Every structure is written in C-alpha cells, then in structure tokens.
C-alpha cells in the first residue's frame, strides 16, 4: 500500500464548554480503559537540532506518546470492550524527529502498513512560540496518531474527512491552536479545523459517538459519497453542511469566534 501523507495545517478553540463535564467523565473512564497500546518508538535524527532540544524540554518523553495514543483510541473507539467499534491492528508507531519542510506527516511502513511512522519536523518545532511549544507538539502528535488508528473507507474517504477527523480529536482533546475558529464555507470537506468543527456540530446534534459511528462505517464500507451520510445520519452531507452554515449564522455568539477578530 502506498504511504498516505497528511501535512498538517497549523492552527482552534476548545470544545464547547457545556460538554466539559461529560468530557471529564469520559476522560475518567478513559483512564480506566485498558487499550492495548502498540509498541511506541522514538527516533531523533539530530540531537543537536534546536527543535530536538525544545522537544526534549517541552514534553514528558516517557508519557507523551502513550497518553496521546490512549486519548486517540478513546475518542475513536471509546473502550476496548465497546461492542460498536473495532480498534485497528496497528502494531507499532515510530515517531521520527527530523529536519524537513512542513509540520508532520504519517505513513505506513514500506513493508507492513500495520507499522506506522510519524515524521515531525524539528525545524517546525523550533519555529513555535515558546509558550505554546508543549501544547503544539502534543496537538500535532494527537493529530498524526489519529492517522495511525482511523479507518478510511477502503482508501476512498475524501482526504478532507480524514484530516477533519484528526483535527476533531485534537479539538476534543483541548489541544487546538488559538487561531482555529468555526466557519462554514463552500466545502464540508475542506479538511482540518473547518471539517473538524463541522464534525463537532454533528457530534452535538446527533449525539455522542457520532464521529465514532462514522469511523466504524469507514471500517466496514467503501466510502461512497451518496451513501455514507444517509446510512449513518439519515441525511445527505450537503444538507447537513448547509444546516450547519445556517446554525452558525443564527448563533454567532456560539460559533467559537474569539478575540473580537470576526465578531463582537
Ligand atoms: Zn493529517
């Protein structure tokens, strides 16, 4: 299988405050859940790179990958015993820090797609504002780890949906960057935070576990645009997107706009 590449757009606002309590309850259960964590490995290509030094100083090296992995598995699969989800057979994840363009990407091993590699740019880490380094590194890792564990409709899901799910987990993990905001636009599958906030709207509107249901559908079905949304949510995605835009326009106070940049 050819490796999938998912460059990250830098850039959120926290999940809705009213859901915080429920989230905390689920987080508590998450800590009890005993997901089988695959082998996690770390490779730093150049210890002398300023980004490597920042990485080692900004995160708890022993904890950051297992914690982020548990968080991702919880958001996508709830618990190992959940009867409606199926954790994929990912056997290992290797985080490789190296000097490269961009932010990060995830790929399957050439030999075995169940072995994943996350490449994270030390040059990018070195460019992050000092007060955001730990949160940004963890947020990027959560995003990339979603790619190690999510389903893709037998390779047919739009990349914008794949990236949206990854940023939805980052959003729900309260690791979104400060400049993210809810916005509608021309396309529901613009990806990243645009699709992430749309998924979050669907999660609230159709109930907790909606994104898990979509992910599970993408495990068992080849993605067909006209079929999945009707099958899972009973509506076409274009209708849902248009209702989302109406909702945003109706309720600007609740659309995540911050700092008076786009609203007041
Ligand atoms: Zn991605």
pLDDT tens digits along 41-88: 999 999 999 999 999 999 999 999 999 999 999 999 999 999 999 999
CA separation for the pair 162, 189 (Å, rounded): 9
Q: Residue 164 C-alpha to ligand 1 middle, in angstroms?
A: 8
User: Ligand 1 center to residue 7 CA distance, Å?
Assistant: 5
Ligand 1 center–CA 163 separation, angstroms: 5
Tell me if 112 is assigned to some domain: yes
Asked whether residue 198 is assigned to any structural domain, the reply reads yes
Instruction: Calculate how far, in angstroms, residue 264's C-alpha sits from the geometric centre of ligand 1.
Output: 32
What distance in Å separates the CA atoms of residue 240 and residue 104, rounded to the nearest whole number?
Answer: 31
Ligand 1 centroid distance, CA of 154 (Å)? 17
Neighbours of 234 (CB within 10 A): 9
Q: Do the beta carbons of residue 92 and residue 69 sit within 8 Å?
A: no
13: pLDDT strictly greater than 60: no
- Say which range, 6-10, 15-19, 95-99, 244-248, has the weakest mean pLDDT: 6-10
Report yes or no on 262 lying in a domain: no
Query: Tens digits of per-residue pLDDT, 185-236?
Result: 889 999 999 999 999 999 999 999 999 999 999 999 999 999 999 999 999 9
- Taking phi over 0 as left and psi of -120 to 50 as alpha, with beta for the rest, 260 belongs to left
Q: How far apart are CA 96 and CA 204, in angstroms?
A: 36
Tell me, yes or no, whether 3 lies in a domain.
no
Domain assignment present for residue 11? The answer is no
Q: With beta carbons less than 8 A apart as the criterion, state whether 100 and 30 touch.
A: no
DSSP state of 54: H
Query: Mean pLDDT score of the chain, rounded to an integer?
Result: 87
pLDDT of residue 102: 98
Alpha helices in 150-224 (DSSP H): 159-172, 192-206, 210-220
165 CA → ligand 1 middle, Å = 9
- pLDDT confidence of residue 58: 97
pLDDT, residue 186, reads: 84
Residue 96 and residue 118 in contact, taking contact as beta carbons nearer than 8 Å: yes
Domain-embedded: residue 250: yes
CA of 202 to the centre of ligand 1 (A): 20
- Give the domain range for residue 138: 17-254
> What pLDDT does 18 receive?
52
| CA 120–ligand 1 middle distance (angstroms) | 12
- pLDDT reading at 120 higher than 70: yes
Is 195:12 a contact under the CB 8 Å cutoff? no
Greatest mean pLDDT among 4-18, 32-46, 166-180 lies in: 166-180
- State in Å: Cα 226 to ligand 1 middle: 24
**pLDDT interval class at 4 (50, 70, 90):** very low
CA–centroid distance, residue 158 to ligand 1 (Å): 12
For residue 260, is it within any domain? no
* C-alpha 19 to ligand 1 mean position (Å): 25
In the reported structure, the alpha carbon of residue 159 is separated from the centroid of ligand 1 by a whole-number distance in angstroms of: 9
Å from CA of 250 to ligand 1 middle: 31
| Alpha helical stretches, state H, the chain | 20-32, 50-58, 61-77, 122-127, 133-149, 159-172, 192-206, 210-220, 225-233, 237-250
Q: Is 5 part of a structural domain of the chain?
A: no
Ligand 1: centre distance to CA 193 (Å): 11
Q: What is the mean pLDDT of residues 170-182?
A: 94
How many structural domains does the chain have?
Answer: 1
261 has a pLDDT exceeding 80: no
Lowest mean pLDDT among 86-100, 170-184, 202-216, 243-257: 243-257
């Amino acid at each position: 299988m050819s490796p999938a590449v998912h460059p990250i757009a830098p850039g959120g606002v926290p999940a809705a405050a009213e859901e915080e309590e429920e989230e905390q309850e689920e987080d508590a259960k998450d800590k009890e859940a005993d997901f089988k964590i695959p082998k996690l490995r770390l490779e730093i290509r150049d210890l002398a790179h300023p980004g490597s030094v920042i990485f080692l100083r900004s995160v708890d090296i022993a904890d950051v990958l297992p914690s982020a992995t548990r968080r991702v598995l919880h958001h996508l699969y709830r618990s190992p015993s959940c009867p409606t989800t199926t954790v994929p057979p990912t056997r290992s994840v290797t985080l490789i820090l190296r000097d490269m363009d961009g932010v990060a990407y995830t790929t399957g091993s050439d030999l075995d797609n169940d072995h994943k590699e996350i490449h994270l740019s030390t040059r990018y880490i070195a460019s992050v504002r000092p007060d955001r380094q730990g949160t940004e590194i963890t947020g990027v890792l959560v995003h990339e780890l979603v790619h190690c564990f999510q389903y893709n409709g037998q390779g047919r899901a739009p990349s914008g949906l794949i990236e949206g799910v990854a940023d939805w987990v980052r959003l729900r993990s309260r690791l979104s960057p400060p400049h993210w905001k809810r916005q509608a636009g021309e396309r529901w599958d613009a990806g990243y935070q645009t699709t992430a906030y749309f998924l979050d709207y669907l999660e609230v509107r159709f109930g907790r576990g909606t994104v898990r249901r979509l992910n599970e559908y993408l495990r068992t079905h080849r993605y067909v645009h006209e079929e999945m949304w009707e099958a899972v949510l009973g509506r076409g995605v274009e209708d849902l997107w248009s209702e989302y835009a109406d909702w945003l326009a109706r309720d600007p106070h609740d659309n995540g706009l911050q700092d008076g940049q786009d609203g007041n």
